[in-house]
Structure formats: C-alpha cells, structure tokens
Structure 1
C-alpha cells in the first residue's frame, strides 16, 4: 500500500502560481498551494484525476507538481457551450494554456462528462480533484470515482461548504460514509482522505456548517446588490465566496 505523507509545497510553488494566476478561474493562491502540496506528496508514477478544468488554472498547478513526481494527470471536462462555460472556445484556451505552461505532455484530456466517463472507467489512480458541475446529483456521482483510489488517497473538492449543491452532497454522501474522512480546507477547497472516519472527523464536517450558511447569505446579498451588507460579513468582493 503506498504511503501519502503530509508534505509542504516546495520552493517551486511560487513559480507555478505565477503561471497559473495568469489563467482565468476561481482557484485562490491558498487553494492552489493545497492542490500542489497533495499532488507533490503522491508516490512516483502516480495518476491523478481532475473533474472540471475550465481554462486550466488548477490543471497547471496539479500538472507541474505531478511532473516532479514523474506522474500524470487526467483532466475530464465536456467543454459544453453556454454563457458560463464557453464550449469549444474554452477548450482551445485550455489547450493553449497547458502548452504554454509546459505541461502538455503531463496532461491527458478526456472531453466528456464525468458522469459518462465513470461508467467505463477501469484505471486506478491516486488523487481525485472534483470541481465539475455543482449540483447535488453530479457531486454525488463524482464522489463514486473514489472506488478507484487506494487507502489514504486525497480527495479534494472545490466550492465545498460554499455551494448549496456541493455541501448537500457532502452531508448526504460523505457525512455518513465509512470510507472518507475530512481533514481541512483552504477557503472552499476541502481536503478529504480515503479511510474510515472517526466521530471527530464527522464533527469537523458539521462544524463547517456555520461558515457554509454565512456563504449562502453572502450570495443572496450579492444577488440583491447589497454588497455593503456583505462587507459586514467580511466579504469585500463582487464575486461569490470561493
């Protein structure tokens, strides 16, 4: 069984973040550092899976860390058309950003829905990053990919305790589960690990609910154009908390 040590990001992270930060997206520096840390801690020759790549902001971070471990990344994204996603144009930008960042040979693109790709997937892998569609049903299906992970493998979920759909998925699918334990988060990026959870692990999930409720209130205030009120809750941005 491979070991997954708790490793801090090395000195190259600042260089990698400089590349990634030029790519549009919703990944913060602290979240990128957590992704980098977990990918860098994988055994040599590992495989990681990312669900939801957009223009490649998180992909570049993961791929550079994996490259240092002689490992690879499978990026799964359907690149559907739509106001928020961009379809084929976004795929072009993704492939350009991956190539420009020097990790094209590390990344294998699967242009498909994660729910469809899962049905025929047979390969084992060592890290799962979920940042696809944020509804309850898709998140629940994406969590099923963990059957291909070994004990101790990291499962990272973006917009956890921030999105209603994602958080409901965690409460229903993860809180009562017997094979995922919650460790910590960087903003809305939560780190879980394959393994039997303790009662304390479950309580840590519940302890995040006040922060989730705060984020839901902030989103409502922003949609009502009440940003000054949102500032009273510590949110000084026109964008949703992530």
Structure 2
C-alpha cells in the first residue's frame, strides 16, 4: 500500500520535478515507497537514467540509511538520446542535488554490463530501451536480488515492447509477483506468484490496449479524438 508522503519525499520531488524527464509525482512516490523496507546500506540499480530525474529520487530515499544508487546508462549519441550532452546534464543534476557521494555511474549498455556482473543489490529499476529484446535481457538482472526485493518497470502496460516482454517472461515466471502500478510504472517483487497474482497482470491488458490505441491516434495526428474517446489530452504518449 502507498505510504503517506513525507516531508523528505516532498523535498526530493521539489528538486526532481525541475529535471527533464517523464517520471510523474505519483511514480516518484512509488519509487520512494519501494525503498522504505530495504535494509540499511541497500544498493539500488537503475537501468536508464537520462538526466537524473529518477536517480535523485532514489538517491534521496537511500542516502540517510547509507544506501547507494548504481546508475547504468550508455548515454548514446543521436537525436533521441543526446549522448554526451545528456551525460553532462545528468552529472550536473546529481551534483546540484548533492548526491554525488551516493550515485555511481556505469556508462554502459545494460545488456553489455549484465553478463559479467557479480555484485549483489537490493532494488532494481528498469527504464532503459523499451523494445522487447532489451527488456527481456534487463529482467535477467533480477537474479542478483534477494527474496522480497522490489523490481520496478517504467512504461509497463504502455510500451508494446515492454508489455510483450512482461507477458512472455513475467506472466509465466516463478519468481516475480505483480504488486501495483502508478500510471505505467509497475512494481513487482521477487517471490513465488500465485495463480491470482498472474491474473492481475492479465487484468491490466485492457489498459494496455487503451494506451496502444492512444499512440496510434497520436501518430495519425488525431489528438482531439484521443482526448474525446480516451480522455488523453496530451501530445505525449501515455506514461
């Protein structure tokens, strides 16, 4: 269940909300809530950091308990990603948030970093490349997590690639349990799912199909129709 929003979270969100990105306040609160029961000195792995909006939330949540964030992002050059400029903004964000001592940057593709990874951690946040193959590989990072650890996935039940990955790998999984979501940010936990847990994933499919239809309408430049039919009055995809 959601925790009451603390003054510490409000302060962290006040800063993070000024950083470019797609994380909403409710989603930031879910990231924060998922750290509450972690042990002292917990380590969170974040796949996909962009300019640091979510990174600062995780760092603020873990800092007072001696925790750390390992931020994994290749900062690819190109129109959609920004490359070196985005990395500069990320590093500036972390510095301005005062969490440079809490955040460790691994400037690499998650799919390249994973095969040789041997360090355990306590929390996994996946917001990397949203295609089926990358998401499928990123889910394999969860083998390093202990029982009950949170696994959070952004653009879940919104992105076609991410959702197909969930259906192929999490729905039949014997070690990930779906808990809840805030928009397209879904919270799973390491554990043995029941039949009812699996059906709760299936129950999100109508919401996913709604989001796919909105994306189609936006691509066709029919934003007005998306607003009228689905209540989505935004030029951006649902997230």
Same fold flag (TM > 0.5)? yes
**Which secondary structure does the structure 1 equivalent of 2:98 belong to?**
coil
Equivalent residues of 1:52, 1:131 under 8 A apart: yes
Among candidates 15, 18, 23, match of residue 19 of structure 1: 15
Equivalent residues of 1:9, 1:40 under 8 A apart: no
The Cα shift of 1:84 comes to: 1.2
The Cα shift of 1:80 comes to: 0.5
Equivalent residues of 1:42, 1:69 under 8 A apart: no
Q: How many angstroms apart in 2 are the aligned matches of 1:10 and 1:120?
A: 38
Kindly indicate whether residue 168 of structure 2 is the aligned counterpart of residue 176 of structure 1.
no
Q: How many angstroms apart in 2 are the aligned matches of 1:6 and 1:200?
A: 21
Root mean square deviation, CA, Å: 1.1
Kindly indicate whether residue 229 of structure 2 is the aligned counterpart of residue 239 of structure 1.
no
TM-score scaled by length of structure 2 = 0.97
Q: How many angstroms apart in 1 are the aligned matches of 2:238 and 2:41?
A: 35
In the other structure, the counterpart of 2:75 is 79
Provide, for residues 23-55 of structure 1, a one-character-per-residue CA deviation record: whole Å limited to 9, x for no partner. Answer: 000000000000011123311111110000000
Alignment gaps of 5+ in structure 1: none
Aligned residues: 238
Among candidates 168, 190, 195, match of residue 186 of structure 2: 190
> Which residues of 2 match residues 1-242 of structure 1 at below 5 A?
8-232=4-228, 233-242=230-239
Equivalent residues of 1:7, 1:38 under 8 A apart: no
The Cα shift of 1:65 comes to: 0.2
Q: How many angstroms apart in 2 are the aligned matches of 1:43 and 1:84?
A: 37
TM-score scaled by length of structure 1 = 0.96
**Which secondary structure does the structure 2 equivalent of 1:134 belong to?**
coil
